[in-house]
Amino acid sequence: MAERQRHILEVWGDFACFTRPEMKVERYSYPCPTPSAARGIFEAIYFKPQFYWQVERIELLSYPNYIPLRRNEVKEKVAVNAVKNWMKGIEEPQPILADADDSITGDSNKGRTQRQTMALRNPRYRLTAYIVPRPGFESQQTAYDAQFVRRASCGKCFYQPAFGCREFVAFFRYISDSDNLPQPVDYNQDLGWMLYDVFDLRKANGNDSPPFITVFRAQVIHGVLEVPPFESDLVRKPESD
């Protein structure tokens, strides 16, 4: 198999929150993106069902700087079928009121709730990933790589990348020359079992698939988090338990 082309992005923003899954109520961020969050940034720039992004390395270019925030979050989400019926005029729209409470909705399971968030301030990372074509599309590898380089170099994206939460906007630039890059910060932490992804990357329907939670043992060593391939035995999958 020919050597796959590695793509490098430098990403930064004002805030980030990559929520640790063991924090069920209050959000507490990992010091760096999870592989799924990093994958989402690449997919925001270029994605096709014929391949998936394999994140290989996450580098911290700034020390984790935490900031506590109190945010309003809605307790529900709009069903896709309901939106389709609104568009067809079958049903009257029933919007979610972002600032409603029990006195307005009459239901404790609806409206907004205040939650504490331990987010990251002024995060900056360097992400390395490559494209893995699905069976039958290997011959398109070069075309996929060229298309991504063209889009990323021009700053194009299908939607604005985000750092965990959608309101935490992420900016990016494509790095074409990997020589003379700044070194990651000297930061070390054993993150324990880290969320790898919430979908089965082997399936072509990807984000339309049922949840498929995978985890791996994550260690940041001298500012670098090495990410094993999704097919690796180091990635714990449901069927292996």
The domain limits of the chain are 8-67+119-240, 76-110
Say what the pLDDT of residue 24 is: 67
Alpha carbons 60 and 78: distance in angstroms, whole number: 36
The pLDDT assigned to 241 comes to 45
CATH 3.30.70.2660 is held by the domain 8-67+119-240: yes
Q: Are 213 and 219 in contact, with CB atoms under 8 Å apart?
A: no
Q: Which of 64, 49, 89, 29 is nearest to 188 (CA)?
A: 64
The list of the chain residues with pLDDT below 70 reads 1-2, 24, 98-111, 205-209, 240-241
Looking at residue 165, its pLDDT comes to 87
- Structure-block tokens of residue 175: 């790095």
Residue showing tokens 């180091």: 234
Tens digits of per-residue pLDDT, 38-86? 999 999 999 999 999 999 999 999 999 999 998 877 777 778 888 888 8
Count of other CB atoms within 10 angstroms of residue 83: 12
Task: Give the angle subtended at the CA of 28 by the CAs of 26 and 29, to the nearest 5°.
Answer: 150
35-45 and 141-153 helices cross at what angle (nearest 10)?
80
- C-alpha span between 16 and 123 (Å, rounded): 7
